[in-house]
Amino acid sequence: MRIIRTIRITNQNNYLITTGLKRFIGFELRLMTCEKDENQYIQLLTYLINYFLDYKPIINDNQTIAYHSWILKFIFINKTINLFEAQSNGDGFIEGAEYGITVVSEQIKECQDQNSIPIFPLFNQMIVISEGVLEGDFVDAVRYPSPQHMTGWWLTTNLYNNDIKTLKTIHYHHLAFKRPDLIKYLALPFGFRFLSENKMIWFDEGVLS
> 114-139, pLDDT tens digit by residue?
999 999 999 999 999 999 999 999 99
Is the per-residue pLDDT at 206 higher than 90?
A: yes
Which element (helix H / strand E) includes 104?
Answer: helix 98-113
- Average pLDDT in the 98-120 region? 98
For the chain, the average pLDDT equals: 97
Burial degree of 132 (CB within 10 A; 0-12, 13-18, 19+): middle
pLDDT of amino acid 67: 97
Is the per-residue pLDDT at 79 higher than 90?
A: no
Task: Grade residue 111 by pLDDT with cuts at 50, 70 and 90.
Answer: very high
C-alpha to C-alpha distance for 130 and 111, rounded to whole angstroms:
25
pLDDT tens digits along 29-68? 999 999 999 999 999 999 999 999 999 999 999 999 999 9
β-bridge partners, 129:
155, 168
pLDDT tens digits along 155-181? 999 999 999 999 999 999 999 999 999
Phi, psi of 199 (to 5 degrees): 55, 35
For 30, other C-beta atoms within 10 Å of its C-beta total 18
Task: Grade residue 107 by pLDDT with cuts at 50, 70 and 90.
Answer: very high
pLDDT of amino acid 209: 82
CA distances from 1 to 51, 56, 184 (A): 21, 24, 31
- Average pLDDT in the 97-122 region? 98
pLDDT of amino acid 172: 97
pLDDT of amino acid 122: 96
Q: Is 53 helix (H, G, I), strand (E, B) or coil?
A: helix
Is the per-residue pLDDT at 110 higher than 90?
A: yes
